[in-house]
């Protein structure tokens, strides 16, 4: 006896493969970030970024820090663990409110997990009173 359509066994097998695919998709790390092209973009004014702290630029998904007087750094504001937005830096630490990861405000390196990868960094320079992506 031959069937021209899919049998019950074939349908169950296809459903199982689809379910496994969905489960594997949900297991992604969420940390991989593409680096947007922000070259020439003014991120903030120098006076807006306190020493030892920073400023979030929400629309660009960037955080600007001033670890020491006159030294400015810029990083993605998306945590490398699961992509949550980081909080405004304080005491030279960038923190992720979702899972508690911490990053150094001068290098973007992960200093406390669960994140292990550094924040995506941007080269910046000061032009007048503005902090600009180089």
What's the whole-model pTM score? 0.73
> Would 16 be classed as within a structural domain?
no
Tens-of-pLDDT digits for all 134 residues of the chain?
555 566 777 666 666 555 544 444 444 444 445 566 888 889 999 999 999 999 999 999 999 999 999 999 999 999 999 999 999 999 999 999 899 999 999 999 999 999 999 999 999 999 999 999 99
Find the CATH number of the domain harbouring 77: 2.102.10.10
**Domain with 73 in it:** 42-133
The owner of tokens 């001033």 is: 66
> Would 5 be classed as within a structural domain?
no
Q: What is the number of domains present in the chain?
A: 1
> Would 29 be classed as within a structural domain?
no
Can you give the pLDDT at residue 7?
Answer: 72
> Would 126 be classed as within a structural domain?
yes
> Would 52 be classed as within a structural domain?
yes
């Amino acid at each position: 006896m031959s069937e021209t359509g899919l049998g019950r066994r074939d349908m169950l097998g296809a459903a199982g493969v689809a379910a496994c695919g969905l489960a594997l998709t949900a297991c992604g790390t969420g940390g991989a970030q593409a680096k947007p092209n922000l070259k020439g973009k003014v991120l903030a004014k120098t006076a807006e970024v306190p020493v030892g702290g920073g400023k979030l630029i929400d629309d660009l998904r960037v955080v600007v820090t001033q670890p020491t007087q006159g030294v400015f750094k810029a990083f993605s504001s998306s945590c490398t663990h699961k992509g949550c937005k980081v909080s405004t830096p304080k005491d030279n630490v960038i923190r992720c409110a979702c899972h508690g990861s911490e990053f150094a405000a001068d290098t973007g390196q992960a200093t406390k997990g669960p994140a292990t990868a550094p924040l995506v960094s941007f080269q910046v320079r000061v032009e007048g009173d503005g902090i600009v992506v180089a």
